[in-house]
Homo-oligomer: A and B are copies of this chain.
């Protein structure tokens, strides 16, 4: 059944201008008036429209949305398309599109349905202000109807959105009190925040490191969000861009793993959505504040130590893989490298998958 439905709107780490990081999260299972929260907004209304179009087509053909492992997704490497199953752990519960299709929607036009689903994303949680994580939040604003959307971020990210994006220069100042479209609020690090649009849910933000600035080599910060469901005690961790404590020489991730182990029983930790931008062949100085498989596995090892147990059965969904020229799809290279390293590090029987846009993980 699952507690959380994570719909991947975008999972790319660039450099294409579409399909960048954004994940819609709702309560799993049918609900009459479903609301979503969204972590990051590199993708938005267009990807919702694409996903709904695909669902309509599959519906017409009578293809069950749970039978999607053979479906072909764009790859652009050895083959232009590869079967979805190659990217998934066989234990993952994955469905095409949103986890529930509301049949009453089929009478509407695709565009109207897309705008309606988009408007049921009530709250955004932004990890950092890099454009590939916020572009759709900005460009989609003319599609906001009647209800205001709330945007939450740690103070530095909120300040960047206020000063550099919604500033009447890069975009109209829609944070202005008179506009009623967006309501930007600051979160506090490690402070549990109540989600207003989904009952019983909370979000706890962790500050993490994401490389250094070009100009003065100062640390740049991003955020990871622990999202919890109080009735069940279940939780998931959703990360934006981040680098390993090994490279940042800080203890942000160590503190986060400890917090998880202390506040979420292992069996309630339903999954981790985490970046792994580049393959192991990438030099450390070319990671630019991101993880490669060796650093991802190192960090999961720290999580395993914090829990003092192997991570058997933990769902780890990898996103933000960067594409570029090469022979083999870097997502498949990374999946192989991570699985192989995890085995040699005795991490436990972790279920590694790749986040693929247009599909929902039920966790």
Contact = CB atoms under 8 A, between A and B. Distances in A.
A18 interface: yes
Contacts of A323: 111
A214 B173 contact: yes
Interface in A108-128: 109-112, 115
A44 B140 CA distance: 18
A160 B168 contact: no
Given A111-B323, A323-B111, A160 B165 contact: no
Contact of A15 (B19, B143, B168, B214): B143
A93 to B, nearest CB: 28
B142 A135 contact: no
Contacts of A171: 130-131
Measured as residues with beta carbon below 8 angstroms from the partner, the interface class of chain A is: 35 or more
A15 B139 contact: yes
Contacts of A16: 45-46, 49, 139-140
Given A20-B139, A135-B135, A165-B164, A130 B170 contact: yes
Contacts of A324: 111, 115, 142-143
Nearest to A49: B16
A49 B17 CA distance: 11
Contacts of A110: 76, 80
The majority secondary structure among interface residues of chain A is: loop
A224 to B, nearest CB: 19
A213 B173 contact: yes
A241 B138 CA distance: 17
Interface in A190-248: 213-215, 218, 220
A40 interface: no
A110 B109 CA distance: 33
Nearest to A325: B112
Contacts of A274: none
B45 A139 contact: no
Interface in A45-76: 45-47, 49, 76
Given A14-B142, A15-B142, A17-B43, A131 B176 contact: no
Contact of A170 (B17, B160, B178): B160
B109 A77 contact: yes
A77 B77 CA distance: 35
Contacts of A130: 170-171
A39 interface: no
